[in-house]
């Protein structure tokens, strides 16, 4: 996921999702759960 394309920094995005930056980074770089993918998609206004 490239948040920079949307002009979003990972720290700001994590704050928007109300999770720790480290948790978001691990999710993006690992194998995320569907519920977290859904939350990320909703925050980015995209579909999963």
pTM exceeds 0.75, yes or no: no
Question: Which pLDDT score, from 0 to 100, does residue 23 have?
Answer: 83
Burial, 31: exposed, middle or buried (Cβ in 10 Å; 0-12, 13-18, 19+)?
Answer: exposed
Burial, 48: exposed, middle or buried (Cβ in 10 Å; 0-12, 13-18, 19+)?
Answer: exposed
Q: Look at the alpha carbons of 18, 23, 29, 34 in this order and tell me if their dihedral is positive or negative.
A: negative
Q: List C-alpha distances in Å: 10 to 24, 28.
A: 8, 10
Question: Which pLDDT score, from 0 to 100, does residue 43 have?
Answer: 84
Give the chain's residues under pLDDT 70: 1-2
Count of C-beta atoms within a 10 Å radius of residue 8? 15
Question: Which pLDDT score, from 0 to 100, does residue 2 have?
Answer: 67
Q: Where are the domains of the chain?
A: 3-44
């Amino acid at each position: 996921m490239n948040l920079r394309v949307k002009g979003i920094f990972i720290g700001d995005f994590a704050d928007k999702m109300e999770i720790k930056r480290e948790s978001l980074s691990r999710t993006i770089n690992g194998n995320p759960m569907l519920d977290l993918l859904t939350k990320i998609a909703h925050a980015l206004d995209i579909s999963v």
